[in-house]
Amino acid sequence: GDVILESPAHPVTEGNPLTLHCLYRNTKISDSGADFYKDDSVLQKQTTGEMTISSVSKSDEGFYHCTHAERGESPKSWVSVRASRLTGVIIGLSLAFVFVILMILLKLLLRYKKRKDDSVAGSNNMIHSHVATGEKKQDGKSSEGAQMK
């Protein structure tokens, strides 16, 4: 076709501006309006032949095309949006923070378990003995059971 949508060949970084141009035979359509679409839904009508998104987000990713009432419709162009470096840094730091917290909790849990095991082991190591204080008579019976007279 004679109508094309000029869009970036590489992914656009989140937060950056995006400008799309509707061209007719490689010339910007400026004499009469062009309509811009994203995923077959109209975004802007009767523009000067260009459309700008001042700060793109992941939700702006999709198939774009433009139409001109007299000159036709452009093929669809895929616009890709990538996360900003800052977003990647924030995600990385968040994951590192969660990892550190989990390691601290694991260490505390192991320390608590070791203390608990040590205290149980300590109580099992106690020596229990029975001391008999009664005297034995010649018949082999203890004097503890004998009545006092």
Continuous segment of H or E residues that includes residue 1 = none
Q: Are residues 36 and 8 in the same domain?
A: yes
The phi, psi pair for 63, rounded to 5°, reads -90, 125
Q: Which amino acid is at 25?
A: R
Q: Check residue 63 and give its pLDDT.
A: 96
Rounded to whole angstroms, the Cα distance separating 6 from 23 reads 7
What are the 10-residue block averages of pLDDT along the chain, 149 residues in total?
Answer: 89 93 81 86 83 93 91 93 78 88 93 80 59 62 51
Q: Check residue 124 and give its pLDDT.
A: 56
Q: Are residues 70 and 88 in the same domain?
A: no
Q: Are residues 20 and 67 in the same domain?
A: yes
Q: Which residue range is the domain that position 103 belongs to? A: 84-122
Pinpoint the alpha helices (H) of 1-149: 85-124
pLDDT tens digits for range 56-88? 999 999 999 999 888 889 999 999 999 877 766
The total of other beta-carbon atoms located within 10 Å of residue 5's CB is 23
pTM above threshold 0.85: no
What is the number of structural domains in the chain?
Answer: 2
Q: Check residue 25 and give its pLDDT.
A: 83
Whichever domain contains 62, its CATH number is 2.60.40.10
The token pair that represents 125 in the structure block? 């190591």
Residue 143 falls within a domain, yes or no?
Answer: no
